Structure 1
């Protein structure tokens, strides 16, 4: 794999992983449009490691508090869900929310992984998902009331957003976009929905990277360590910068720029691959 290709693909992964525009769609489509060779499984693992390091580093202080209070909450294991939620502080609830919200996509990923990779990686599927879920994101922002911060997250929120996240297995959906949509529809404000989406990405990226690593170990793909290191560094740095930029942009202008981008991208894909 050429270093130039690795640089641009890693940059795209880092910039799109946490934006509501689908990183998987861009990593599939860019080589198709530019007639590049497939980047290979090892490189996919590397750029996922980079984005995982970025989000963990960015939220390291939050994660420390969440983990500390989550461990304390284990002493409430004999309580009912309602009683435990009342006794826990918001950090502990958030920690449980991330775990609960990860279950649906984990189960769906294990059951549907081969089917998704075989039947749902076509440009027309990506185009349809890009447009449909882009419009749903716009509707969620336009119609849903934004009234709650992340300190008021509930078990129900975590379950529903987790179910939304399972749809991100469809290329073009965007894991970030669909979890933001779910959060907004439930009444979280934009920044709260985005922060929960980012935290929810940590176990998901870890699990996805783990599955790809197992596939890599079982395969016979040659490893170019220099290219992989470049992928980790570029995707990690670009993702770290993108997180802060995105949170600031959400407060100022909301989701509309990303919705418009998705509609344009979907239209271009329909033009090239349908007509």
Structure 2
């Protein structure tokens, strides 16, 4: 690994790739970040197949800001209602207001991820982290495919977002911690957990995205701050910005596609895709397809 690929302990391999390659990876990151198919897996596979170096965990984490823009844009009516509804409830001292309670539950459900993310940050974002190895990602993809299949097969899918409780939010929040393991996928873990709670498929996705907003913001903001503290070069910031813009657009398209698929079909396409992806990774490592 060259000196430029590691900036004060942060894996900043995206700088070596340059703007054009990062733009392509931005498309991959934006689509895979918000679909339940693991962005980490795709950000390891695509560069490996193309013979590029790993863009690094710092790039993946910073791309959370692109996902944030896409989620807020797509669910703007929900986000606006929760934000201003909660402020109005506080002003009226009506703490039984549903929007205030739901917003509070979202914040509380983020705490497990914050705690575990802080404890594991040294290993998650370090240069050459063993957690980002392809075998780990492959096993995680297969495991999540199995769990999503069980949720699809055996759960009722009858509840709506209006039926959720604090307990539901905390359970999905705990599931979100699993996304710290590369290959699990934040959207995959929370969508699966919400489906296990018998939410309708599209309602489970909506719950997953809204509950994930604080986590997405914190992860992205923290990584941008870490890059700032590490004195990322002007070239590095420019390359990162290219990735962010492209990823924001592709992430919005990904949300739209996911909601249409879940409304009209089911999550089985993602189950099959994740399982085959995990098998492909493990086989590829075994036979030497990947560097």
In the alignment, which of 175, 183, 193 is matched to residue 164 of structure 1?
175
What is aligned with 1:261? 273
Separation in 1 of the partners of 2:154 and 2:92? 37
Separation in 2 of the partners of 1:211 and 1:123? 25
After superposition, residues 149-188 of structure 1 pair within 5 angstroms as 149-188=160-199
The answer as to whether partners of 2:159 and 2:200 remain within 8 angstroms in 1 is: yes
Q: After TM superposition, give the deviation of residue 17 of structure 1 in Å.
A: 1.1
114-123 or 14-23, which deviates more = 114-123
In the alignment, which of 47, 68, 74 is matched to residue 31 of structure 1?
47
29-38 or 3-12, which deviates more = 29-38
1:2 match: secondary structure: helix
44-53 or 209-218, which deviates more = 44-53
After superposition, residues 123-202 of structure 1 pair within 5 angstroms as 123-202=134-213
The answer as to whether partners of 2:67 and 2:248 remain within 8 angstroms in 1 is: yes
The answer as to whether partners of 2:37 and 2:274 remain within 8 angstroms in 1 is: yes
Distance 1:169 1:50, change over 3 A: same
**1:1-48 deviation line (CA, Å, top 9, x unaligned):** 333311111001110111001112222332223221343576446532
Separation in 1 of the partners of 2:228 and 2:238? 18
- Aligned positions, number: 267
235-244 or 161-170, which deviates more = 235-244
Distance 1:123 1:41, change over 3 A: closer
Q: After TM superposition, give the deviation of residue 76 of structure 1 in Å.
A: 8.9
CA RMSD of aligned residues (A): 2.1
Say whether 1:104 aligns with 2:112. yes
Separation in 2 of the partners of 1:261 and 1:133? 11
The answer as to whether partners of 2:155 and 2:195 remain within 8 angstroms in 1 is: yes
Separation in 2 of the partners of 1:48 and 1:160? 22
Separation in 2 of the partners of 1:135 and 1:50? 29
Q: After TM superposition, give the deviation of residue 166 of structure 1 in Å.
A: 0.4
Gaps of 5+ in 1: none
